Chains A and B, each alone.
Chain A
Amino acid sequence: MKGIPAIELRNVTKKFGSVVANKNVNLSVMRGEILSILGENGSGKTTLMNMISGIYYPDEGQIFIDGEEVVIRSPKDAFRYKIGMIHQHFKLVDLFTAAENVVLGLEEKEKYSVKSAAQKVAELCERYGFEIDPNKKIYEMSVSEKQTVEILKVLYRGADILILDEPTAVLTPQETQKLFAVLRKMREEGHSIVIITHKLHEVMSLSDRVSVLRKGEYIDTVVTAETTEEELTEMMVGQKVVLNIERSEPKDRRERLMVKDLNCTNTDGVKMLNHVSFTAYSGEILGIAGIAGSGQRELLEAIAGLQSLESGEILYHNPKTDEVVELRDKNTKQIHDLGVRLSFIPEDRLGMGLVANMGIVDNILLRRYQKGKGMFVQRAKPREIAEQIVEDLNVVTPDLKTPVRRLSGGNVQKVLLGRELSFTPTVLMAAYPVRGLDINSSYTIYNVLNEQKEKGVAVIFVGEDLDVLIDLCDRIMVINSGTITGMVDARSATKEQIGLLMTKTDGGAEA
């Protein structure tokens, strides 16, 4: 079978509306080979793999399995061609045992019994060296055990092409090493493995070849042994694009928010923030760069009083009274009562930011109702603010009562930003504020952030587009798996430098 790829994609293109997620991608994986797919957030890695596993259907291009052209329309088709995908979000029934999850939905000829299922799963574990109790319930398992069950599920179904979507994102270095040992074992048995990742050291240590995607486009495939981390980073981030965002020099720069040694672990036991310390100054934009899910959300929510912490301090310097107050372990109301004017634009605009079924006025009222007197709500002031926002930020809406979910993404973001700015904040935190927005709306948002900076607000901007971060921010802090890996001056930083800080882990899994 050498010579003919186990799976090959030729000129595969996928569009969602006007957005091109994948453009003319060519890929091939041999039997007994591990291929890494490397790319930044939004480079189209997951979309590509979803096309192989039958979740999406390509608009153009061909897929070949063992040299024959195939059509994969559903996950069931993918099963038939022995393709198994391990998703980032596990699809397991918590209340069932490992064995029950593995056999779920399978139509087998022999009579079903819990015992024989457990037996077969145990045999599979033995063969590949998994350490797992088939009778353990999923809800009692750690993340890595759950992942093992997912892998067992596809192996049990006879998959010999395995696709893993960021499998190490939730694992500790030790667990990652174990996973890699299993994957190598599978390679020896002749399985083809595709692993999506953006951790460079994992690519270097595990894979035979690397394919790089950037903004949906296929860049190149290189043999791992013949490349370097620097070369891969360059392929991944590409050339710097000049955006012409205005940037003024910070004025009257003073300590506003001091974060010291924050630690936090999520419910799965994964460390989300690891000794995070930094200071945000008034009159500057501090950018936060990192792969999605590296702890940005936890960091912002901790500052906003929405995330409990294991240890650390969050200190706020009040410019009016010149006092320093501790914000940790206080809820949003308590923080507000301390006279801290903190505004937070969360990533999930219609979930955390606004109430989707309420109009602009009522959404503004949400942040102000405690100011009213008497038992009836007073809408006069919120309505004034709403009118002001619509005018200032060019919000396109039929009227102020239209539920915000009916507005476009850009207009929703403007409403949210406008509401938060109407409180004249001293600290403004924005998570991915231009995600999904068109160019014009994006520039409106950049301008608003710049205005705030000139007013002396400490702006914290979590972004994903490195070009924007470099052109907009004054300093950029890089976060990588909950650890701050660098603080660079945006005026002199390069994309390669930031890209390496985002993806490289020192002292990580050296297997």
Chain B
Amino acid sequence: MAFLSFILRFLPRAVTQGIPLLYGCTGEILTEKSGNLNLGIPGIMYVGGISGIIGGFFYETYAAEMNPVLTILIPFVCSLLGSGLMALIYSFLTITLRANQNVAGLALTIFGEGVGNFFGGSLVKLVNNGSAEIKLNKTNVAFRQVLPFAKDWGWFGELFLNYGFLAYLAILVAVAVALVLKRTKTGLNLRAVGENPATADAAGINVTRYKYVATCVGGMIAGLGGLYYVMDYQMGTWANDGALGARGWLAIALVIFALWKPHVGIIGSVLFGGLYILYNYVGVARNIEPLFNMLPYVVTIVVLIITSIRKKRENQPPASLGLAYFREER
């Protein structure tokens, strides 16, 4: 039974590690399917996190009595707005102005981290209680609320029912995006835009609109990863430590690992999350911890090598990924 107890300790931790990655991965897949390589995901996750913190902070500080629905809804909507705005900046730069996607994305990442740390620092000053971090005691409880009967279900409850609602939402969103991409006309049109925008344009698809919507919705989904990270994983605290950025890059690696399939991302996120914290469970010295943090990237490289050798067209990134679309001269 030692194994079961290990699983019971390890797997829930791997899942909570994986959920931010899953949001980032699903959002980035949706974005990339429109042909936009958004390397601004780490920055967007920062902004998604800090926006949620700001919303929650003001509600918790200034509301006389906290309405449980608003306690969730205010940070949630703030997070969506913040990350949506970031994605909109990226969309405007790369779709309308046709700026280089890599440059725009990296700039957004640096910008997003700065925004997060700036407002995080401001809030710390506002509280001015000698602590270097913000802690939203009530909001985080609402976000971390698990199903009341989880305890009655033994190991099943501990493994599958013991998470905040954002964790389940992450899986729902991933499944929904997978279905939209594969089964619907909208998904077909979106994939056509990412594969061959000229053909999509000739077929009467509004390429610009598809790119904008996919990138902005994708950004909002990724931003929820930041919200989960601060509200649930960090229990409502904000610290200017850069840990969220590492999750953003892992999410982008996860896109490659998942071969641009959101449902594969679900399994991948747990795997990545598990690999990322494996050092806690194998009893290694603290100084080789970073070596273990590398494991998800090593796995990604292995996947890249295998898919590159097999050259299966379905497992390749969207054909026009990273390229701006110019309609041919008329």
Contact = CB atoms under 8 A, between A and B. Distances in A.
B313 A93 contact: no
B189 interface: yes
Nearest to A89: B198
Interface in A92-112: 92-96, 100, 103-106, 112
Given A76-B204, A104-B189, A104-B205, A94 B195 contact: yes
Interface residues of A, number: 21
Interface in B193-231: 195-196, 198-200, 202-205
B129 interface: no
A139 interface: yes
Contacts of A141: none
Given A104-B189, A105-B189, A95 B314 contact: yes
A75 interface: yes
A93 B202 contact: no
A139 B313 contact: yes
Interface string A412-432: 000000000000000000000
A104 B188 contact: yes
From B184, B196, B198, B330, residue with most partner A Cβ within 10 Å: B196
Contact of A96 (B184, B195, B202, B205): B195
B185 interface: yes
A137 B313 contact: yes
Nearest to A76: B204
B258 interface: no
B192 A93 contact: yes
B102 to A, nearest CB: 19
B132 interface: no
A95 B203 contact: no
A120 to B, nearest CB: 14
B319 interface: yes
A92 B199 contact: yes
A325 interface: no
Contacts of B314: 95
B196 A93 contact: yes
A93 B184 contact: no
Contacts of B330: 55-56
B97 to A, nearest CB: 20
B317 to A, nearest CB: 11
Interface string B111-135: 0000000000000000000000000
Contacts of A105: 189, 192, 200, 203-205
A59 to B, nearest CB: 14
A55 B203 CA distance: 13
A112 B195 contact: no
A435 interface: no
Give the interface centre of A76, A93, A100 by most chain B CB atoms within 10 Å: A93
A29 B205 CA distance: 31
B192 A104 contact: yes
B202 A91 contact: yes
Nearest to A137: B313
A258 to B, nearest CB: 39
Contacts of A139: 313
A505 to B, nearest CB: 32
Interface string A271-285: 000000000000000
Contact of A112 (B185, B198, B313): B185
A152 to B, nearest CB: 13
A361 to B, nearest CB: 28
A75 B204 CA distance: 9
Contacts of B200: 93, 104-105
B25 to A, nearest CB: 21
Contacts of A76: 204
Contacts of B199: 91-93, 104
Interface in B219-246: none
A94 B200 CA distance: 12
Interface of A: 55-56, 75-76, 79, 91-96, 100, 103-106, 112-114, 137, 139
Q: Which 8 residue pairs of A and B lie closest in terms of their CB atoms, listed nearest first? A: A105-B203, A112-B185, A91-B199, A105-B204, A104-B203, A93-B195, A93-B196, A105-B205
23 contacts: A56-B330, A75-B202, A76-B204, A91-B198, A91-B202, A91-B203, A92-B196, A92-B199, A93-B191, A93-B192, A93-B196, A93-B199, A94-B195, A94-B196, A94-B319, A95-B313, A95-B314, A104-B188, A104-B192, A104-B199, A105-B189, A105-B205, A137-B313
